[in-house]
Structure 1
Amino acid sequence: MNAKNYEYDVALSFAGENRAYVEEVANSLKSRGIKVFYDLFEETNLWGKNLYEYLSEIYQNRARYTVMFISGFYNQKLWTNHERVSMQARAFQESREYILPARFDDTEIPGILKTVGYIDLQNKTPDEFAGLIEKKLKKDKTFLKYKWSKITTLINPKPFIFTIKVVNEQLDLIHNAKIVLVANNATYLEGSTDEKGLTHFIIRNRKLYTVLIAHPKYPAVIFREVNPKEDIVVTIEKTKDSGSIILNKSGEIPGISGKIEPIVKPNKKLSLYADNIAIEEGQYQPFDFELNNALCLEDNQGNIVYLTFRFFKGRIALIDYSKHNSA
């Protein structure tokens, strides 16, 4: 397969008993802009498919690398062994490393030699391990060439209209959804859906965009590396007692009084100021946080809201909020 046609930068193969760790890795990779195949990200896409054939195609042809999370559980599963065989068929055809082993323990896996370099997960947090995967990708010359070509070949000086339509699962049109397009250089375009569920953007310099969508009655939605050459329709799914918001620099969160302001510290850590709001029962501010990890906020009236930052770049933040902690 041509290196430019990989649908995923990395596919994750693991046993269900190790899901808690792997899910944090998947979320961290996603927040870094890496295209990752993780089954729970693909539930709608997998629905109704012949999984035996489809997963063979994913692990053999459609990912630049696969990460094999080795454990005693992994060796016992029918599906993980099916994925392993597909990976090894690909690895046999290529003259470079394709399977990236990561070990929870020293379980022996058929076809994986003890001399093959691996990462010991016992001393790595999920985010640290995701960082290693990111570094591995950035050393891949075909990956870098692909990323660069996607940006440099999208130049189009003639303005055009890019339209996004937002509906729910019942295909009802969603009015007043906030949509922001964030370019790689952190510049952005803002809009809101009208009565027909539509928002229109004038694109004057074609780039790849991260599309952020928020609505007070629906969870946050994020799409990365979107090429605006074709209009898109987005279906959002409702979750009980939760909503989402996009903040520009600072703002208020529904259900709680006072303002919040996320910032990036000089050490590049994400941090949060909250005006007349306690963070995590009164921790010192600015309070350091990580994407996809819930924060508890309480105002001076005792109202409590849980925030989860899904995206933060420049001064644009995409946030899920709920009265209940779903973490």
Structure 2
Amino acid sequence: QTSLVAAVTSTWLSLQSSDQLLSLTQRTLATREDSLRLTKLRFDNGATSALDLRQAESLTAAAQASLAQQQRQRALDLNALTLLVGQPIPGNLLVPDQPTASPAQSSNSAQLWLSDVPAGLPSDLLERRADIRQAEQQLIAANANIGAARAAFFPRISLTASAGTASNELSGLFKDGSWGFTLAPQALLPIFDAGRNQASLDSARVGREIAVAQYEKAIQTAFREVSDALAGQATLGEQLRAQQVQATAEAERFRLAELRYRNGVASFLDVLDAQRSLFATEQALLQTRLTQQQNQVALYKALGGGFDRR
């Protein structure tokens, strides 16, 4: 169920992002078509060069190609979401977020319901994960004492520090790129007390070793996925803020370049360069916003279903 919720949420976020990229591309195409009309008029009157006209035509064609690409991607995202949900998506869920606003100015509606990551999340939340539960069932089938197994292999730590960042305890588990949670050999002894009568059977011993290895791997995978998602949480937030500042600056740069060109104090190349740069910056901003949202979905999934104990 957790995997399905995460998949539906991630696909819906992709659809929302595709809507926003489509809206951005439509606005960009309209702007470039206006520039092309103005350039053609100036060319017909001998006020600009053929080079300027061809560059305006090239940028307009590029925007048309990008529009077709975004329309195709939106259709693919909608098909994927419909397949996951198993029925047509209600129209009110398909309305883009503020389609006339620039990415730097628009509010991020999806972020309004993606909760902030609280500090002090306990690691026992990970016991809800399906892979860990399955590994525990395999241990139980091998006559293991599951309480002893958890004590031996499962770190009891706080996963998060302030502002939803990874705690020092969590970061310390992966020093030098390897698993840093160790235990004394005698800690393994109580795990299979219930199966001591089978100790002489090689098949039982091998089965127990496999079950232990799979359990330990499931735990390491869980903690690694949480650590990766929390690392993304911090760095993606910083990246998004910087890109928002950049997009705002590029929008102002384009406005000034266009104003200077209309007043005859700047070349058309300045306008085209600013236009190109603004479009690329706004595209990158929307992509980073989607990556940040999907990273939080990945954290939800890694924790076994969110921040609350159930």
Larger radius of gyration: 2
Q: Name the TM-score, length of structure 1 as normaliser.
A: 0.24
Higher strand share: 1
Q: Name the TM-score, length of structure 2 as normaliser.
A: 0.25
